[in-house]
Structure 1
Amino acid sequence: MAHSYIAYIDEAGDDGLGRYRTPGAVGGASTWLTLSATVCRMSRDLEMVEWRNEIRSKLGQRAEKKPLHFKEMNHGQRIMASQILATKALRGLCVAASKPSLLAETYTEKNQLYFYLCRYLIERISWLCRDMRRLVPEGDGRVKIIFSRRGGLSYDAFRAYLLKLKNFEDPAIQIKWPVIDINGIEAQDHGKRAGLQIADIVASSITAGVEPDYYGNCELRYAETLKPRIYSRGGNYLSYGVKLYPGPDKLALTPQQRKFITLFEK
């Protein structure tokens, strides 16, 4: 039987730990790594092409056949893209890690931090799909997960990681396994799927609210615009659609970053 949902996963930032970027300097690792999923009904997957094309059409003729990349847009274009996506039948969710708040010696293996954050993201994807099942009667209740292909990452290894979690008896692992099609997880190139390009916009929009730019400023408007499409339960965003790691109470935040927390505390 067909899947009920489809989830596209992309990231913003990198997983380098140390030598972080500072305002006014070129180079260095991002201070945040965000993994984000954009989820919709499988029956709406083709509509994502229309949503992507709607954004492209407003970027001008040169962009009409190019894949969307948030980093290539200016501020006004990013606002426009987030405004369009805020009207669409999708849900966004993310896990954002403040890397300077982590102990680098804890994450010594290749892709270890990425896998750990993915665990939290898959967890929340499973909760969302479970919560929406009464409104999505078609399909078998499972979600098809497609990653934006990431260099140096083995997706066979990631599937094995999830199988290990599934067979590990730990109450802290709260993934609703009947929802997750582990064997069906795959990766595709960014330019091949409209859903991956939309996921890039969602991931980068959220990250802009906490990652300082060259001038040391964070931009909250993109996340603020997308807030109606971010997964929450009973108005609770920070436990569901916006997971911060470590938790907000353990982070040394600037006043601008604190506004991001306040946005999703409401």
Structure 2
Amino acid sequence: MKHFTAYIDEAGDEGLGKLASGSIGGQSRWFVLGACIVNHDGDLKLPAWKDAIIARFPNKQRRDLHFRDLKHDQKVVVSQEIAKLPIGACVVMSHKATLIGTKYEAIYKRKGHLYNYLLRWMLERITFILERESLPEPACLKIVFSRRASTDYQKMKDYLYLIKNEREMFTPIRRIRWNVLNIEDIVVENHSKWAGLQIADCITSAYFSAVEPNIYGNYEPTYATLLKEKLLTTNGVSLNWGLTPVPSLGGCRADDRQYAFLQSHR
């Protein structure tokens, strides 16, 4: 059996109350989940890989990576270094503006609902690709989440069991490969103590920066573009596999710059 671990982090927030607009503050317009995926050998090497990245910044006081605390030049270097690592990445991003004023708004205003829904999309893709790439051997996936005070992890597991037991009111287009994922193997750890979570933070934040406007209305796709080759693919295409906008590219109401960035992953 081939063993894999997916370290998962998020960027932005789930709030749908008042979305940020230009220099006017508010909740993030996008909510992004990102994963760093490694095989067993890679998992053992993650601490050394993280230390080697931090060694690029000899004056850095803290010994953990937190993407938002880095300067632009440092973010570029971190992205370049992660791009060299034998890892996989999977990113799912929701443009929350598409939920405002719809019949789904009340549902996704509920605590944890948007997070769990994006997680479902992510696990459908990761487990499918790991199952395929591991053949003829079976694959086994362990999930490690970065701890969030606002997340009820038991409700998350309950939601996954509901999916697994086929108790949903609709038939999904894709499915999670339950032969790859054991729900009870899901664990939650502190970001500062796990190298894999720190790498996942950098991947997630890089893609968040590519679509979330800053106070000037600008995006920074440089970091994500450097990480593009790490995304999971099918037939050489990462869009809707390693990078998935929710709704789809045609319905996510991306502006021209965001659309060009997403389109580049076809």
Q: Distance in 2 between matches of 1:106 and 1:162?
A: 17
Task: Work out whether residues 66 and 201 of structure 2, in 8 Å CA contact, stay in contact via their aligned partners in 1.
Answer: yes
What does residue range 7-86 of structure 1 map to in structure 2 within 5 Å? 7-25=6-24, 27-63=25-61, 65-86=62-83
Pairwise mapping of residues 85-96 of structure 1 onto structure 2 (< 5 A)?
Answer: 85-96=82-93
The residue number in structure 2 matching 1:161 is 159
Q: SS state of the match for residue 37, structure 2?
A: strand
CA contact 1:18–1:100 (8 Å) conserved in 2:
no
2:253 corresponds in structure 1 to 252
Q: TM-score, normalised by structure 2?
A: 0.92
What are the superposed Cα offsets for residues 137-181 of structure 1, whole Å, 9 maximum, x if unpaired?
Answer: 5xx621110000011222122112111100116343411110002
Runs of 4+ in 1 over 3 A off after TM superposition: none
Alignment of structure 1 residues 138-157 onto 2, 5 Å: 141-157=139-155
CA distance in 1 between counterparts of 2:174 and 2:161 reads 12
The answer on 1:129 being equivalent to 2:130 is yes
CA distance in 1, matches of 2:79, 2:148: 24
Find the aligned partners of 2:182 and 2:263 in 1 and give their Cα distance: 35
Q: Hey, what's the Cα distance between the residues in 1 that align with 2:245 and 2:207? A: 11
Equivalent pair of 1:40/1:90 in contact (CA under 8 Å): yes
8 Å Cα contact 1:224-1:263 kept in structure 2: no
User: Bigger CA drift: 51-60 or 240-249?
Assistant: 51-60
Distance 1:163 1:17 in 2: 26
Q: Deviations over 1:159-211 (max 9, x none)?
A: 12111100116343411110002101011010110000000000011111111
How many residue pairs get matched?
259
| Aligned mates of 1:108, 1:70 — CA distance in 2 | 27
1:174 to 2:162 alignment: no
2: distance between equivalents of 1:108 and 1:15? 8
- Structure 1 residues 31-62: Cα deviation after superposition (integer angstroms, max 9, x where no partner): 00001111010221121111211111112233
Query: What amino acid does structure 1 have at the position aligned with 2:226?
Result: T
TM-score normalized by structure 1?
0.92
Aligned-residue sequence identity (percent) comes to: 34
Contact 2:3–2:39 (8 Å) recurs in 1: yes
Aligned Cα root-mean-square deviation (Å): 1.7
**Structure 1: tracts of 5 or more residues without a match:** none
In structure 2, the gaps of 5 or more residues are none
Q: Tell me how far apart the structure 1 counterparts of residues 108 and 176 of structure 2 sit (CA, whole Å).
A: 22
| Alpha-carbon distance change, 154 to 106 in structure 1, aligned in 2, over 3 angstroms | closer
